[in-house]
């Protein structure tokens, strides 16, 4: 691996899990407390 | 190394490895189908089609997580290198599992409506302004498109045709695919089910990859921070002749880290020393962690070969890498950190003669 790639790689692996983790936590925290039976896999044009 | 087209490059090791992966996939799918109803209790009826879709989807995400873990694992421990050699086959199998998941989901959720299934998939959910209601299906489609492009261009023919930098840039999109898939699951099945297992496994995968890659990067940084001592003319110390003769095994390298520029691999070839760049011309693999086989330095990542004395690949291949000058002074071997043009022949330094 080139020196500049190693530097880029260090930053990338701090940012990527951070961003994904934040969205993941948001999706977890914001989800309805009780199951509605009308979640994304149960609604709209789907069954 | 060949640009000639062969459908898939298989050998006995790869066949064994592929068979092992296939058996693992089948065991996972069967195990998930048997255990999922108990481990993932649901508030609504879960049909065999839904179990099938989830088994394939979770299998694909697990495989992608493992694929992304192979790189840092191989950097942290050389025993994981065989996994690296077979990573492309694993990637193609992951794409096939992803396609099977897509087929299963489209068939069950979009196959019975008035709209054609693919149209229904693309327009069925238009909640683009909602976070939790966002069309998570499209995130999965985007990830699958990336995996398909990667699988199609995975052969060395495409590596040569597109050139390594372009090919590498395309294949770096695997990280985007992983991010898209995590969101696909977080906004899809994680919203439909109450079980804590889904967020735990999903968060665990992100955490595991983040930690592994960060740890590998930290180790590389520690090596970079230990730059070799330079003499007054800027040449770097490789080691004393006695030390190199006693502790550097034949066919292996000592890696020298300059203050700036790329690492230098000083290889022992019998009773001579030669210095080449540590960066492989193929995919920047660490040449200094490879060894000399049949007179050529062999990259530990994909087996690309270069002659230590001139950095040229053996005929009929035309790849070249930078070489470096070596000298002996006062019982020590020194290397000039300024790289010579790729393919420049440098007379190897004789260890026996170089007694200082």
Tens of pLDDT along A3-43?
Answer: 777 777 778 887 888 888 899 999 988 887 655 544 455 44
Give the start-end residues of each E strand in B270-311.
272-277, 291-293, 296-298, 305-306
- Closest by alpha carbon to B120, among B131, B107, B129, B133? B107
Whether chain A has a CB inside 8 Å of the CB on B223: the answer is: no
Please answer yes or no on whether B210 and A42 come within 8 Å at the CB atom.
no
Binary contact (B192, A41; C-beta < 8 A): yes
Please tell me which residue of chain A has the smallest CA distance to B133: A40
Size of interface A-B (CB pairs under 8 A): 115
Instruction: Please state, in angstroms and as integers, the Cα–Cα distance from residue A33 to each residue in B120, B194, B195, following that order.
Output: 29, 9, 12
d(CA B11, CA B218): 35
Q: Which residues contact B244 (CB under 8 A, 6 or more apart)?
A: B238, B254, B268, B273, B333, B351
Q: Could you give the strand order of the β-sheet that contains B305-306, starting from the edge strand earlier in sequence?
A: B291-293, B296-298, B305-306
- Which among B183, B187, B286 has CB closest to A1? B286
What pLDDT, on a 0 to 100 scale, did the predictor assign at position B353? 55
- Taking the CA of residue B188 and the nearest CA in chain A, the distance in Å comes to 6
Q: Does B41 touch chain A (CB under 8 A)?
A: no
- pLDDT at residue A33, rounded to an integer: 64
B-chain residue closest to A45, CA distance: B124
Å between B130 CA and nearest CA of chain A: 11
Residue B2, pLDDT score: 40
Q: What pLDDT is recorded for position A47?
A: 42
CA distances for B250 relative to B34, B271, B273, B284, angstroms = 53, 8, 10, 23
Structure letter (DSSP) for residue B333: E
- Confidence at residue B4, expressed as pLDDT on a 0 to 100 scale: 45
Chain B nearest CA to A21, separation (Å): 7
Smallest Cβ–Cβ distance between B188 and the set A26, A35, A41 belongs to: A41
Q: Residues of A with CB below 8 A from B128's CB?
A: none
Q: For residues A18 and A39, give the distance between their C-alpha atoms in angstroms, rounded to a whole number.
A: 26
Torsion on CA atoms A27, A32, A35, A37, rounded to nearest 10:
-80
pLDDT reported for residue B322: 96
What is the rounded distance in angstroms from the CA atom of residue B264 to the CA atom of residue B274?
10
Task: Inform me whether the pLDDT recorded for A2 exceeds 80.
Answer: no
pTM of the model: 0.80
A23 contact B CB<8A: yes
The reported pLDDT for the residue numbered B26 is 97
The pLDDT assigned to B192 comes to 85
Contact residues, chain B, for A32 at CB < 8 Å: 191
Phi and psi for B335 in degrees, rounded to 5?
-125, 140
- Residue A41 has a pLDDT of 57
Q: Is B194 on the interface with A (CB under 8 A)?
A: yes
Contact A44 B189 (CB under 8 A): no
A6, A32, A45 ranked by CB distance to B217: nearest: A6
In this complex, do A41 and B221 lie within 8 Å of one another by their Cβ atoms?
A: no
| Nearest CA distance, A39 vs chain B (angstrom) | 5
The pLDDT assigned to A35 comes to: 53
- Rounded Cα distance, B218 and B241, in Å: 31
User: In the 8-state DSSP scheme, what is residue B289?
Assistant: G
Asked if the peptide bond before residue B49 counts as cis, ω within 30 degrees of 0, the response is: no
CB distance from A4 to chain B under 8 Å? no
The answer to whether B132 contacts A6, with C-beta atoms less than 8 Å apart, is: no
Bridge partner list, B328: B333
For chain B, positions 115-134, list CB contacts with chain A under 8 A.
Answer: 115, 120, 123-125, 131-133
Q: Confirm whether the ipTM is greater than 0.95.
A: no
Give chain B's residues under pLDDT 50: 1-5, 7, 355-356
CA distance A17 to chain B (A): 6
Alpha carbons B147 and B11: distance in angstroms, whole number: 24
The reply to whether B183 touches chain A by the CB within 8 Å rule is yes
Q: Is A6 on the interface with B (CB under 8 A)?
A: yes
Q: Which chain A residue has the Cα nearest residue B71?
A: A1
pLDDT at A38: 47
Q: Are B88 and B71 in contact (CB under 8 A)?
A: no
DSSP state of B251: T
């Amino acid at each position: 691996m080139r020196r500049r790639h190693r530097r880029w790689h260090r930053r990338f692996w701090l940012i990527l899990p951070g961003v994904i983790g934040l969205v993941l936590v948001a999706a977890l925290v914001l989800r309805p407390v009780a199951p509605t039976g009308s979640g994304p896999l149960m609604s709209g044009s789907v069954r | 190394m060949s640009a000639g087209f062969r459908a898939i490059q298989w050998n006995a090791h790869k066949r064994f490895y592929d068979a092992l992966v296939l058996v693992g996939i089948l065991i996972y799918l069967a195990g998930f189908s048997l255990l999922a109803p108990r481990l993932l209790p649901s508030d609504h009826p879960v049909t065999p089609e839904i179990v099938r879709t989830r088994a394939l989807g979770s299998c694909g995400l697990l495989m992608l997580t493992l694929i992304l873990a192979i790189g840092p694992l191989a950097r942290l421990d050389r025993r994981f290198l065989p996994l690296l050699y077979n990573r492309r086959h694993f990637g193609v199998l992951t794409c096939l599992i992803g396609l099977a998941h897509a087929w299963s989901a489209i068939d069950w959720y979009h196959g019975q409506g008035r709209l054609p299934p693919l149209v229904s998939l693309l327009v069925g959910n238009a909640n683009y302004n909602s976070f939790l209601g966002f069309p998570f299906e499209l995130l999965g489609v985007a990830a699958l498109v990336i995996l398909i492009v990667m699988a199609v261009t995975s052969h060395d023919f495409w590596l040569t045709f597109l050139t390594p930098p372009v090919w590498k840039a395309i294949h770096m999109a695997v990280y985007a695919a992983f991010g898209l898939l995590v969101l696909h699951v977080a906004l899809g099945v994680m919203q439909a089910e109450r079980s804590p297992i889904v967020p735990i496994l999903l968060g665990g995968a992100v955490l595991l990859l983040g930690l592994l890659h960060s740890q590998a990067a930290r180790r590389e940084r520690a090596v970079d921070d230990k730059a070799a001592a330079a003499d007054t003319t800027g040449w770097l110390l490789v080691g004393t002749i006695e030390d190199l003769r006693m502790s550097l095994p034949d066919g292996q390298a000592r890696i020298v880290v300059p203050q700036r520029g790329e690492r230098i691999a000083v290889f022992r070839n019998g009773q001579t020393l030669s210095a080449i760049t540590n960066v492989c011309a193929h995919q920047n693999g660490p040449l200094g962690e490879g060894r000399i086989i049949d007179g050529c330095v062999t990259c530990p990542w994909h087996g690309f070969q270069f002659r230590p004395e001139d950095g040229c690949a053996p005929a009929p291949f035309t790849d070249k890498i930078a070489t470096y000058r070596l000298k002996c002074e006062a019982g020590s071997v020194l290397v000039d950190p300024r790289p010579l043009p790729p393919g420049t022949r440098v007379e190897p330094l004789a260890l026996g003669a170089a007694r200082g």
